[in-house]
Amino acid sequence: MNASPAGRFGVALDVTLDLPLASLGSRALAQLLDMVLLQTVQIAILLLGALLAGLAGLAAEDAPTWVFAGVLILMFCLQWGWFAAWELAWEGQTPGKRALGLRVVADDGSTAGTVAILLRNLLRTVDFFPAGYLLGLLVMFFHPQSKRVGDLAAGTLVVSETRAPVRRRRWPAGLRAPELQLLGVWFERLPALSPDRRHPLASKLVERLRGTNPELLGGLPEDPVEALAALCPEEP
């Protein structure tokens, strides 16, 4: 259908499942979201720790140092384990990845194992080398499956999960593959199209259907946008 790079996994019956790979941009954005969340949590822990240490100081003189020690341990674990913990808990997703519909999977499309998740996240230091994820971005840019160093080591991929359409439609009989695809893309993109662009595109589609499936167009509204909606009505 399209030539965008995809992860290919054998599923049952010798069928290959093809899932689009996460693009560099969406992965960077997911990373940014996760980092913002991580730093928010870290700041919250520091503030809570300071508060707790103050309270502990009233109870016993050396109690605050234990609070500080605990805060240090927590910060270290967050630093090294934030991404891995989410990916283990959410089967390959972090909050940022979930927001963007990305998921880490093993090379065969199965859920990535614990060791793989740890590896790909502990090796972030290398992807970060020498600064600002430079090495990771370069490796991802040149790798055919957009892997960073951590993914290479762990044998993992980041795929973009296709999401099922929210509303289903009732399709008329007699449509052939090219028109089905056009209509599918039309309804998928309709909410994002500005009103002044809907009309010309819809009339082109109707024009095409007039050539391929003239029997379907009888009794439909005059306006092409409404005609298409009436042709494939949403199911309740």
Cα 220 to Cα 196: distance, rounded to the nearest angstrom = 21
CB of 149 to other proteins, least distance (A): 5
Cα 200 to Cα 31: distance, rounded to the nearest angstrom = 39
CB of 9 to other proteins, least distance (A): 7
Instruction: Take residue 231 and report the two structure tokens written for it.
Output: 């042709």
CB of 195 to other proteins, least distance (A): 23
Residues 124/150, Cβ–Cβ less than 8 Å: yes
CB of 74 to other proteins, least distance (A): 10
Residues 155/106, Cβ–Cβ less than 8 Å: yes
Which residue, 66 or 141, is less far from other proteins as judged by CB?
Answer: 66
CB of 3 to other proteins, least distance (A): 13
Instruction: Write out 29-52 in H/E/C secondary structure.
Output: HHHHHHHHHHHHHHHHHHHHHHHH
Instruction: Take residue 173 and report the two structure tokens written for it.
Output: 């009989």
Cα 60 to Cα 58: distance, rounded to the nearest angstrom = 6
Q: Which residues bind other proteins (CB under 8 A)?
A: 1, 9, 11-13, 15, 17-19, 62, 65-66, 68-69, 72-73, 76, 80, 91, 105-106, 109-111, 113-116, 118-119, 122-123, 125-126, 129, 149, 152-155, 161-165, 168-175, 177, 180-181, 184-185, 187
